[in-house]
Amino acid sequence: MIASHALLSAQSISLVYRGGVRALENISLELPPGQFVSLVGPSGCGKSSILRLVAGLTAPTAGKLLVAGEPASRARRSAVRLAFVFQDPTLLPWRRVEDNVALPLELAGGARSARIEAARSALELVGLSDFARRFPSQLSGGMRMRASLARALVVQPELLLLDEPFAALDDITRQKLNTELSRLWEQRRWTGVFVTHNIAEAVFLSQRVIVMCARPGRIIADVQVPFEFPRTMELRSRPDFARLCGEVMSLLERGSR
Amino acid sequence: MSEAVRAAARAVLPPAVFLILIVLGWQLAIVVWQLPPYLVPSPRDVWAASQEHAADLGWAIPLTGAAALTGFGLSLVCGTLLGLVFSQFKWVQRSIYPYAIFLQTVPIVAVAPLLILWFGYGFQGVVAVSFILSLFPIITAATSGLTQIDPNLVELFAVHNATRLQELLKLRLPNAVPYIVTGAKISCGLAVIGAIVGEIYAGFQGEHIGLGTLITRANAALDTSYVFAGVLGSTLLSIAIFATVSVLGSTILARWHVAAGRDSTTR
């Protein structure tokens, strides 16, 4: 069943790497606009590959992948405002934070004053206003990740792809950024695909958790997360939150057997 | 303040003391073993020779320096341009870059007489030797800097639909700057060597001669003190050029906010 209004529509896509490694097999997935989805699974299950396919950085070996009605290889050029947050902050060390954040607008050819203004307000969203004129090397790991997030938000994305963005951070910083990301999503309602292997993070952030297993990478479960927004720290200590995390965990375990 | 003075003293004092010891040992060896001045002149002889030939040395050092800086400058420009071509055209890199690496292991000094033959027994010939000798470190440094880029950054530019020119100007070239600075530090010393070797084969046909020619002539005249004075002049020239390139490089790197200075490998 193909929903025509889906922002992201994957129809039995497969990805085989050179040398015959089957990274993804028969992945079908529909994402309505504005939904925040997490992909969880063990390393090697191809969850990051899905993001790269959606961003049009690689092409599927088989199957059909549409983003906003266009093939993924074309979509980011015309059909959809897309942003990608990498596992590392991926900032240019020779640029000030605000110039890093403004980079996507600069590449699109925006006027300097307008893009710096946009960068400043994106930095405000992530609480980095006071650090706009600093260089990345002068920021902590958590702050660099916030800057990276600001750079994604500056394009006002309709589709935001996040590839384990908080994996390298300590747990306290990670939970804090989870809460902020959730708040930002509530304001902006982009369509989000969040890749992680942290179950609590996936459940906390998402409306829906896709559970994957490895060798070859495939989807084994699609779990709805019913918790209301705004989601705050208290949610993490609720028994129904813990129960849902446990459920996802046992699905993962069953998949790895 | 006093802490800064103490730090400076810690940096300067040990090598200064060592230099004094070397000069004293040199003088002592001459006295103890009765070394004749045509084999090893005393420090005082060398000093006297440099005073006596001050005018010639005063011409030779800037003349050789000019040839070395011209060769180095050409290397910097041509090496970076070649690196650019390599980074933009994979097939050019695949077909030519192996030779660039291979040529680094060949003693290029051996072709100096040929270069002099082709480019003339004068300034151009000397510059050509200096250029060839100092070129390869820049090529390899520029090529590495333009191609060894965090793949995530390349994908970031791709996700935001950067053109090839944008990727080159806003990602690859800035990324190459610290690499080229490191290459330049190696290259500038080689440029001085190249200039002196070039002069040994060519000499200047004008009224003034460079350090290489000066040393060969003094050697032919068995004026060993003068040879020493020429070597000393070459060393000073080399140090001056290297120090200038280092300071300029550090300034650029500081502006670039890369951690090269704090990197444990360069300390």
| Per-domain boundaries in chain A | 8-81+157-256, 91-156
Tell me, yes or no, whether B208 and B126 share the same domain. yes
Picking from B156, B158, B256, the nearest residue to A94 by CB comes out as B256
Tell me, yes or no, whether B128 and B185 share the same domain. yes
Residue A169 backbone class (left: φ over 0; alpha: ψ -120 to 50; beta: rest):
beta
Total Cβ atoms within 10 A of residue B17: 10
Structure tokens given for A104: 């996507």
Residue B67 lies in a domain: yes
Structure tokens given for A160: 């935001």
Please tell me which residue of chain A has the smallest CA distance to B176. A94
For residues A231 and B34, what is the distance between their CA atoms, to the nearest angstrom? 91
Interface A:B, Cβ pairs < 8 A: 56
Q: Quick check: A215 pLDDT over 90? A: no
**What number is the average pLDDT over the span B196-211?**
84
Query: What pLDDT was estimated at residue A208?
Result: 96
Contact B170 A84 (CB under 8 A): no
Question: Binning pLDDT at 50, 70 and 90, where does residue A4 land?
Answer: low
> Which of B160, B172, B173, B256 is most worth mutating to test chain A (most A CB atoms within 10 A of its CB)?
B160
Among A95, A94, A67, residue whose Cα is nearest residue A81:
A67
- Tokens 């300590």 label which residue? A170
Tell me, yes or no, whether B17 and B148 share the same domain. no
Question: Which chain A residues have a beta carbon less than 8 Å from that of B156?
Answer: 84, 86, 90, 103
Q: Quick check: B238 pLDDT over 70? A: yes
Query: What pLDDT was estimated at residue B211?
Result: 94
Contact A82 B258 (CB under 8 A): no
Residue B15 lies in a domain: yes
What does pLDDT average to over chain B? Answer: 89
Query: What pLDDT was estimated at residue B90?
Result: 87
Query: What pLDDT was estimated at residue A202?
Result: 95
Question: Binning pLDDT at 50, 70 and 90, where does residue B229 land?
Answer: very high
Query: What pLDDT was estimated at residue B208?
Result: 85
Query: What pLDDT was estimated at residue B121?
Result: 87
Query: What pLDDT was estimated at residue A3?
Result: 46
**What confidence tens digit (pLDDT) does each residue in A67-117 have?**
988 888 888 898 899 999 999 999 999 999 999 999 999 999 989 999 999
Contact B170 A90 (CB under 8 A): no
Residue B223 lies in a domain: yes
Query: What pLDDT was estimated at residue B203?
Result: 66
Question: Binning pLDDT at 50, 70 and 90, where does residue A45 land?
Answer: confident
Structure tokens given for A158: 């309709």
Question: Which chain A residues have a beta carbon less than 8 Å from that of B255?
Answer: 94
Question: Binning pLDDT at 50, 70 and 90, where does residue B263 land?
Answer: very low
Q: Which fold has domain A8-81+157-256?
A: Rossmann fold (3.40.50)
Q: What CATH number is associated with residue B243?
A: 1.10.3720.10
Q: What is the C-alpha end-to-end distance of chain A, expressed in Å?
A: 30
Question: Which chain A residues have a beta carbon less than 8 Å from that of B159?
Answer: 55, 57, 76, 82-84
Q: How far is A107 from chain B (nearest CA, A)?
A: 6
Question: Binning pLDDT at 50, 70 and 90, where does residue B76 land?
Answer: very high
Residue B129 lies in a domain: yes
Tell me, yes or no, whether B206 and B87 share the same domain. yes
For residues A45 and A43, what is the distance between their CA atoms, to the nearest angstrom? 6
Looking only at the bridges linking them, the beta strands covering A208-213 and A36-40 are parallel
Contact in structure between B84 and B146 (CB atoms under 8 Å): yes
- Write down the ipTM of this complex: 0.91
Q: How far is B252 from chain A (nearest CA, A)?
A: 11
Q: Quick check: B205 pLDDT over 70? A: no
**What number is the average pLDDT over the span A185-199?**
94
Contact B257 A93 (CB under 8 A): yes
Contact B170 A77 (CB under 8 A): no
Tell me, yes or no, whether B176 and B82 share the same domain. yes
Tell me, yes or no, whether B4 and B59 share the same domain. no
For residues B109 and A76, what is the distance between their CA atoms, to the nearest angstrom? 54
Query: What pLDDT was estimated at residue B108?
Result: 77
Tell me, yes or no, whether B92 and B7 share the same domain. no
Contact B161 A77 (CB under 8 A): yes
Residue B197 lies in a domain: yes
Residue B150 lies in a domain: yes
- Tokens 């009765």 label which residue? B34
Interfacial residues of B (vs A; Cβ cutoff 8 Å): 150, 152-153, 155-162, 166, 170-171, 174, 177, 255-259
Question: Binning pLDDT at 50, 70 and 90, where does residue B122 land?
Answer: confident
For residues B115 and A135, what is the distance between their CA atoms, to the nearest angstrom? 47
**What number is the average pLDDT over the span B108-125?**
88
pLDDT above 90 as % of chain A:
75
Tell me, yes or no, whether B135 and B224 share the same domain. yes
Structure tokens given for A215: 């060798």
Tell me, yes or no, whether B19 and B63 share the same domain. no
Contact B159 A103 (CB under 8 A): no
Residue B131 lies in a domain: yes
Tell me, yes or no, whether B64 and B19 share the same domain. no
Q: Quick check: A2 pLDDT over 50? A: no
Q: Which domain holds residue B252?
A: 53-256
Give the number of domains in chain B: 2
pLDDT above 90 as % of chain B:
70
Residue B262 lies in a domain: no
Q: Quick check: A238 pLDDT over 60? A: yes
